[in-house]
Amino acid sequence: MTLEPVDLYSAARHAQAKLVLESVSKQFGAGDQAVQALSPVNVVLCPGDFVCIVGPSGCGKSTLLNLVAGFEQPSSGRLLLDKREIVGPGSERGVVFQQGALFNWMTVLENVAFGPRSRGIDRPRERAMHYLELVGLAGFAQRYPYELSGGMQQRVGIARALVNEPEMLLMDEPFAALDQQNRELLQEEIKDIWRRTGKTVLWITHSIEESLFLATHVLVMTARPGAIKAAFQAGFSRSEDPFVSTTTAFSEAKRQILGLLREESLAARSQEVAS
């Protein structure tokens, strides 16, 4: 059994869309210096989707996420969130980066309370504490980020995104810097939070296994300029079967994606040789 291809831009998905990327492309710079980072991308995310994007490094994954976050503007096409065009960042989209991005001069609690406090939300510290409990860090509220391990810092980053109660979580290789064990524990926690809250998640990873553990849909990108090479329905769950990664279905799915990515890496290499 292999993964089922899926059309992420179907009429049925449009009918219940949370996020629409309509012919979205991105070019950096101009003239001789121009870098085409993203080819036109068409994709619809529905409420509750957990979409993982895998692709060769430098193919435009972060660019795509930054467009959804509103940190960058598209060169062509448009992005719609709940039918409204994205023109900048917003608290309904929570972003978690690969690492860091915490304020080192603030306690963990103040880091998490920062968002709600600056938006004038009631009782920011109580809210922050609630989300620190959720990610298992209540006991570290008064510590400073540099006193925590990498895994704990990523948890703070997640709490800081969740405290704004965003409808969408945008994660750019959030666990790339973690060791395998920490990574797997945090994957489980995130999946649990997703199950309980029904948030829509866009998750970038270079780990095929991670994408298969987490995603409802896996999206494979081509080499730069990034386009969608393939999209699949996925549904492996480690909470249902802790050893799911040892099943034939899982290793076949992994092989399938690996094959696609390998084609892209080879294509990227021959481009380099040619230029």
Stretch that binds ligand ADP, among 3-11, 51-59, 98-106, 161-169 (CB under 6 A): 51-59
Q: Which amino acid, residue 233? A: Q
48 binds, among Mg ion, ligand ADP, none (CB under 5 to 8 A by kind): none
35 contributes a contact to ligand ADP by CB under 6 A: yes
Q: What contacts 78, CB < 8 A, 6 or more positions away?
A: 22, 23, 24, 85, 86
What value does the CA radius of gyration of the chain take, rounded to a whole number of Å? 19
Residues β-bridged to residue 226: 38
Least distance from ligand ADP to the Cβ atom of residue 227, Å? 12
Do residues 171 and 204 lie in contact, with contact meaning Cβ atoms separated by under 8 Å?
Answer: yes
Residues in the chain, how many? Answer: 275
**Which is nearer to ligand ADP, 66 or 153 (by Cβ)?**
66
- In this chain, which of 24, 41, 44, 60 binds ligand ADP, going by CB under 6 A? 60
**Choice from 62, 66, 154, 200 touching Mg ion (CB under 5 A):** 62
Residue 269's SS3 state is helix
Q: Which of ligand ADP, Mg ion, none interacts with 60 (beta carbon under 5 to 8 A by kind)? A: ligand ADP
CB of 230 to ligand ADP, least distance (A): 16
Query: CB of 152 within 8 A of CB of 140?
Result: yes
63 belongs to the binding site for Mg ion (CB under 5 A): no
Residues 175-214: b if buried by 16+ CB within 10 A, e if exposed? bbebeeebbbebbbebbebbeeeebbbbbbbebbbbbbbb
Binder of residue 93, out of ligand ADP, Mg ion, none (CB less than 5 to 8 A by kind): none
Taking CB under 5 A as the binding criterion, the range among 44-52, 54-62, 89-97, 211-219 that sits at the site for Mg ion is: 54-62
Which one of ligand ADP, Mg ion, none is in contact with 63 (Cβ closer than 5 to 8 A by kind)?
A: ligand ADP
State which of positions 212-251 bind ligand ADP (CB under 6 A). Answer: 224
| Whole-number Å distance between alpha carbons of 258 and 55 | 10
Closer Cβ to ligand ADP, 145 or 225, answer by number: 225
CB 77, CB 40: distance < 8 Å: yes
Binding residues vs Mg ion (CB under 5 A): 62
